[in-house]
Structure 1
């Protein structure tokens, strides 16, 4: 299996790379921080019989770079079986607080840039008549959230709808489309945040890879308790959602 992961220099991306490498996947890892990518590649290829790992610099908000780098990584690996659209940021602010830049960056990175990544991946998959697109959203997609997470949750909800449409569009074409919706997984992105039911990065990314290998349409990860809490959020009265979040 040949897999490309965006945002692979740290957090969930790096964790998924480690887990997939342990399963023998050849990898194309892309992110802005090439020093971290290169260190990760050295780590993953250090053992005998290690998979092939290629790296490349990529700012996912640069649409032209995305359109160029994804097929270049396919050529480096000799083909692509799976693309994991993982790159994303937090760091939003309450809407109207006088700091719109943080929210606009979040929207562009988490939603607009994800569309560009899916465009590049799906063009390859349509040409070859096969492939597996995995898009990382969040349990936050299930409900509008307040404060600094308002825009973040909205981007993930938008991605949920976008992925659902993609899946419907390629039925019968040999292309699988999976949405992974993580609950609270501790990474450098959310350091210091209050997170009930949180798991460490290794546990969380192991669950993400196990889920994507099953190729479901949608999976909460870890499955417990988010497969219960996620749907509950959708029907929960907003005053209760506000208190909980």
Structure 2
């Protein structure tokens, strides 16, 4: 059975999956280090969670993950305040994107920088702490879109999430013979503020259910997991093995 991780750092924690996971972990009695650009949202969340769960300590700091030096500064400051960071969840990300060659390199570049380069900075900062402690659990939030190259607005997004998954697996390979654990999570369709602006997507689950499934998977500390497991483990197999023409039609 995986060990209890008491002090948990989550990036992109002011909304969506990050906020949802923070609520779930707080309900389990875990301490939280929460960071995001919208610090006002973090302050509200901190007040809510500490009022509801008096034994839980919640630290918050502003963080733009594209400010790479700030990533290291914030992670080290959380480590200093808590004494130890037991788990880091690399969750901050961006969903925008446009078809390649349609004149929106700016949008695709922003997605690539946020979802991969900034994630690399977060992984570097986290594993630096874990190596010094000789303990910890690194979790990256990838996406089911990482299973295959996808067309249209998803092309760059899918590529960044595939890159993040490969990066995380490489880190895991490097740390196999250490006490440090590494997990890649592939979420399916989980409702968030961004997704709720569009039409309901088939197979989408509500935020609370999705975040409960995410936290349950993270707690098991597997090498990788599709979340929710049903039907996404099966969908993942299909995405990896179906002809590309079929994938292009379903995306």
Identify the TM-score tier after normalising by the shorter chain. Answer: over 0.9
User: Within 2, Cα distance between the matches of 1:71 and 1:12?
Assistant: 23
Contact 1:89 1:189 in 2 (8 A): no
Q: After TM superposition, list the pairs within 5 Å mapping 1:50-129 onto structure 2.
A: 50-129=55-134
Corresponding residue of 2:220: 214
User: Within 2, Cα distance between the matches of 1:52 and 1:87?
Assistant: 21
Instruction: Flag as ranges the 4+ runs of structure 1 deviating above 3 A.
Output: none
User: Within 2, Cα distance between the matches of 1:164 and 1:49?
Assistant: 37
Instruction: State TM-score, norm by structure 1.
Output: 0.98
Corresponding residue of 1:237: 243
Corresponding residue of 2:147: 142
Contact 1:84 1:136 in 2 (8 A): yes
Contact 1:45 1:52 in 2 (8 A): yes
Corresponding residue of 2:163: 158
Change (3 A) 1:219 1:48: closer
Contact 1:74 1:80 in 2 (8 A): yes
Contact 2:27 2:53 in 1 (8 A): no
Cα deviation, residue 194, structure 1? 5.3
> Of 230, 234, 242, which aligns to 1:224?
230
Task: List alignment gaps of at least 5 residues for structure 1.
Answer: none
Corresponding residue of 1:33: 38
> Of 200, 210, 225, which aligns to 1:204?
210
Cα deviation, residue 239, structure 1? 1.2
Contact 2:26 2:53 in 1 (8 A): no
Change (3 A) 1:243 1:194: farther
Corresponding residue of 1:195: 201
Name the SS for the 1:46 alignment partner.
helix
Contact 1:21 1:50 in 2 (8 A): no
User: Within 2, Cα distance between the matches of 1:99 and 1:240?
Assistant: 26
Please tell me the root mean square deviation across aligned C-alpha atoms, in Å: 0.9
Contact 2:190 2:204 in 1 (8 A): yes
Corresponding residue of 1:20: 25
Cα deviation, residue 50, structure 1? 3.5
Instruction: State TM-score, norm by structure 2.
Output: 0.96
User: Within 1, Cα distance between the matches of 2:199 and 2:145?
Assistant: 14
Cα deviation, residue 51, structure 1? 0.5
Cα deviation, residue 189, structure 1? 2.5
Task: List alignment gaps of at least 5 residues for structure 2.
Answer: 1-5
Corresponding residue of 2:3: none
Contact 1:44 1:50 in 2 (8 A): no
